[in-house]
Chains A and B, each alone.
Chain A
Amino acid sequence: MTRLACFYVPMFVLAARLRSEPDLLNEAVGIVEGNGSNAHIVAATRRARKKGIQPGQSLAQARSLLPKLIARGRDAECERTAQEALLEVAETFSPRVEDAGEGVVFLDVTGMERHFADDPGNAGVSPAADAEVRLARAALRACDAISLPARVGIAASKLAARVAAELPKSPIVVAPGEEATFLAPLPLTRLSPELEAAAMLQRFGLASIGDLAKLPESEIASRLGEVGRELHWAARGIDPRPLMPRPLPPEFREGMELEWPLVALEPFLFIANAALDRLSKRMEIQGFACKRLEFTLTLDPEGYDARGIDLPAPTRDVKTMLTLMRLDLEKTPPGAPVVGFSFVAHPDRPRRAQLSLFGPSAVSPEKLATTIAKLVSILGDGRVGMPMTVDGHLPERYSINVFSPPPPPDMKRTPARARGLLAVRTFRPPIPIEVTTREAEGDDVQIASIRSIADQNSDTRQPTPDTRRRVEAGAKVEIGGTVRICSGPWRIEEGWWSDRPDIREYWDVELERGGVYRVFRGGATEWFVDARYEM
């Protein structure tokens, strides 16, 4: 038999708002719908209700009862994200989940209770307790983790599960085949509070669902029509509506409408931090990490500012995402006060690795992703990554890619002896120089002296001890002087098929004052130093 569970969040409008603003949890808060004189209370916290605030009252009435009432408007963004979070929790219990809207979710839990047969977290449950109760309690804990005070009911039909979830003593599990018995003592309004037919039946003198179930179906149908027939079925625990599972969402969304426009960055980031934290927890539940973060700012008085941040590696680190967001906003401010925001995280599977006991220890993929994202946020794009060689002939060619190291070997190895190659320090970009040449054998040219163009006005005398000390202490290195030994040229040609082929002639030159440089001639008169042999 199919077993369905229902997650129900009472006063969902209020719960969604308190989830975004947990500081208001112990305050007298009323959620208001409508503007001006039409503004009326749709939900209120326990503290406000104790003072007489009830749904349906106008805001003026509520204020007269409780002047210190904190009024908050309905926030569609908060409600949407809270509903998404509730659905995501449901998806951790079953792959078949139906979104019934407004804090109600149905899920197919047939056979799922077996996973909770030995749940250590339910030590207080008696051995005779049903496995489904354990499942329901686990669901309650999961909902608490995302700051939604949900109730859970489990039954064979959606209607019975919904009614069980609406009852205050949660969780309630209706045994298979006992739906009618469960519903019988409950008032008729539990069946369908919004239908007038239920009120009419009460006027007939029918007080409970059980009273309705005892009447003949044809008699009810002849008086109330198709609605009456459906109500009679519902009273007998029959609900023919099937579960309609929703597809998995491709993205995670969080957002909020602000009470007042924000102009400064810090207050916005303070609120964004909480929203990103919620987003991160939701992704953690599903085992995802954020690969791309998109955020849309609602501007005052009108307009939107939409942006996107590509993370270097999937991560759930809130600090990293917040830092990237801060840098993006500091770089290009929105240009108008912000009155709302919406964050969309595109999920991806976090990197995984198998750790080795005897080989070199692997870097934790999660920590690595976070570190790289932080480094990118500090240093900028293209400054962190895995170096890569590029096919070609020019010595300065390189590219930088996403750092994703292969797993280390299972066993430790001994490093081979070094090749002992002399390293060069590359100048990026090459430094333009002025060169004097002398004739050599054949058509070759030998370099007599070099001098960087930026240093033309500087003194080219031999370096004094003071100069050396200055260089060692970090002053700019001057390139220039008489060439002692010159070696070359070596010719390189790349892109001969293009309109502007790169033809270069390279020399290695040792200066009288010290240092060996790699010099090249790019055109007829353009000379550059592109590297210094490590000295």
Chain B
Amino acid sequence: MAVLARRLATQFQLLEAPAILKPAVPPQVVESEALRNLRATLEASIASKLTSGSELVRAVARQRRDEILPTTIPPLDALLGGGLARGKMTEIAGRGTRFSIVIATLAAATSIGEAAALIDASDSFDPQLAEAAGVDLRRLLWVRPHTMKETVTAAEMTGATGFQLVIIDMGSRRPPGRRVPDAAWVRLARVAESHGATILVSAPYALTGTTSEAMILAYAPRPRWLGRGNAPRVLAGVETKLKLEKHRRLRPGQTTTVFFQCEEAVGSTQASVMTIPTADTRQPTARAKAS
């Protein structure tokens, strides 16, 4: 067995390939007796790379949960320390361009083959625009609840089913029906934790309280028009300011500005997503980086 393992040592190099698994899967503390005996007979360099199938599966699951899902909007990703944390709930609140962020996040998740669910409480999703923004509609489950309670229930069910990304969009006003109790958000956060789902809540005001991993405040946006004076005008896009209101691993208070352009004005502006740095933009602290 030991000889066979030595011969196969080169096979374990696959685990070091960045495309498959990175970082290399560390051995589990709890190991079976047979595996422990086998490791004891091997050289230390080979034994450290020996992994059983069950350990590998657990490590892959753990690694998936430690990952982040980038929103592919660089200023926002920088604000969130790379993107939305998997297995956590993130909230975007305010009057800013929340729905554009939602669409971009859907495009990011579905374009890499992940299944996403959009709980569209305001029934305002436009499939034409989403497809133009890069959303793979085949991987998107569109749920249109009527009330607040149905919204949270649908999010909980889809999260528990195994959707990697679940987005709740409340629209620009609260859905009809009574407010859901705070315990519902706690339950939703637990669903995200236990199933490794990324949950993004987009609402005009803060809903999730202390249960969310991070909260972004989107300030009122400013539209930008092309053309001046008596010349015909074309809506170029909308600029909005985002502020990291709360984060469990990063220092809050950082701000950034993002610009979303109109589909008709694509090509008229210099960059697809224009970043306008502000004076109070700060880098993550050393403590945050370490964590």
Contact = CB atoms under 8 A, between A and B. Distances in A.
B72 A360 contact: no
A508 interface: yes
B283 interface: no
Interface in A400-426: 400, 403, 405-406, 408-409, 411-426
Contacts of B140: 386-387
Contacts of A379: 143-146, 150, 154
B162 A485 contact: no
A459 interface: no
Nearest to B100: A423
A400 B72 CA distance: 27
B28 interface: no
Given A408-B113, A408-B114, A415 B127 contact: no
B142 interface: yes
Given A422-B100, A535-B220, A361 B162 contact: yes
B168 interface: no
A73 B133 CA distance: 66
B249 interface: no
B8 interface: no
Contacts of A387: 125, 127, 130, 137, 140, 142
A364 B162 contact: yes
Contact of A532 (B64, B103, B129, B172): B172
A477 interface: yes
Nearest to A359: B113
B181 interface: no
Contact of A385 (B74, B139, B141, B161): B141
Contact of B273 (A384, A417, A425, A487): A417
Nearest to B148: A474
A100 B91 CA distance: 65
Q: How large is the interface on A (under 10, 10 to 19, 20 to 34, 35 or more residues)?
A: 35 or more
Contacts of B107: 415, 418-419
B255 interface: no
Contacts of A371: 157-158, 160-161
A534 interface: yes
B126 A411 contact: no
Contact of B263 (A367, A375, A405, A421): A421
Contacts of A418: 71-73, 104, 107-108, 133-134, 272-273
A452 to B, nearest CB: 14
Nearest to A410: B113
Contacts of B126: 395-396, 398, 423-424, 426, 531
A524 interface: no
B35 interface: no
A22 to B, nearest CB: 31
B191 interface: no
Interface residues of B, number: 87
A485 B143 CA distance: 35
B51 interface: no
A388 interface: yes
A368 B134 contact: no
A423 B220 contact: no
B161 A422 contact: no
Interface in A303-351: none
Nearest to A367: B161
B233 to A, nearest CB: 4
B237 interface: yes
**Which of B71, B115, B137, B237 has most chain A Cβ within 10 Å?**
B115
Contact of A477 (B154, B172, B259): B172
A509 to B, nearest CB: 10
A514 interface: yes
A416 to B, nearest CB: 6
B205 A425 contact: no
Contacts of B141: 372, 384-386, 403
A415 B70 contact: yes
A357 interface: yes
A406 B97 contact: no
A422 B95 contact: no
B157 A374 contact: yes
A45 B129 CA distance: 68
A374 B171 CA distance: 24
Contacts of A128: none
Nearest to A422: B260
A25 B137 CA distance: 53
Contacts of A472: 95, 204-205
A533 interface: yes
Interface string A460-472: 0000000000011
B98 A534 contact: yes
A534 B171 CA distance: 10
Contact of B20 (A358, A416, A428, A487): A358
Contacts of A471: 172-173
Contacts of A475: 173
B263 A383 contact: no
B95 A535 contact: yes
B115 to A, nearest CB: 5
B97 A423 contact: yes
Contacts of B146: 379
Contacts of B157: 371, 374-375
A372 B158 CA distance: 9
A368 B138 CA distance: 14
A397 interface: yes
Contacts of B64: 361
A508 B235 CA distance: 7
A534 B137 contact: no
A33 interface: no
Contacts of A403: 141
A17 B86 CA distance: 52
Question: Top 10 nearest A-B pairs by Cβ distance?
Answer: A474-B174, A420-B273, A425-B124, A418-B72, A408-B113, A387-B127, A415-B108, A418-B104, A422-B260, A423-B99
7 contacts: A363-B115, A378-B154, A384-B144, A389-B128, A422-B238, A425-B124, A535-B97
